[in-house]
Amino acid sequence: MGILEEVSNVFADILQPLVTSLVFTVAGLILFGAAIWLMAKLAPFSVRKEIEVDQNVALAVIMGCVILGIAIILAASLIDTGGAVLTAPVSQASP
């Protein structure tokens, strides 16, 4: 019985973080895609036409920066800390 319990514990220890990571990945991709779709819909012009046809480099740079900003915000909001507050390591803590 002991070997079966150890094997099931190992699978539980491996599968739980894997499933959690997959769920957060899918949620992040859905939110990221929704944000990009919303930006394109809210623009008073065709973002695709401006960037591809008219070669509007300034718009491309701005859209790239907005996409990076959204990605940083999503990554920060989806980090799983296990409910713990992030603190500095003891060696770097101020006296």
The domain of 66 spans 2-79
Q: What is the pLDDT of residue 74?
A: 79
Is the pTM of the predicted complex or chain greater than 0.85?
no
Of the candidates 42, 28, 20, 41, the residue with the CA atom closest to the CA atom of residue 70: 28
Res 57: pLDDT: 94
Q: DSSP 3-state assignment of 90?
A: helix
Tokens of 89: 């390591």
Domain for residue 87, yes or no?
A: no
How many domains does one find in the chain? Answer: 1
pLDDT digit string, tens, across residues 17-71: 778 778 888 888 898 889 889 988 998 999 889 989 999 999 999 989 988 998 8
Assess if residue 44 is contained within a domain.
yes
- What is the spatial distance between Cα 63 and Cα 58, in angstroms, rounded to a whole number? 9
Confidence at residue 72, expressed as pLDDT on a 0 to 100 scale: 87
Q: Output the pLDDT for position 95.
A: 54
Asked whether the beta carbons of 89 and 43 are under 8 A apart, the reply is no
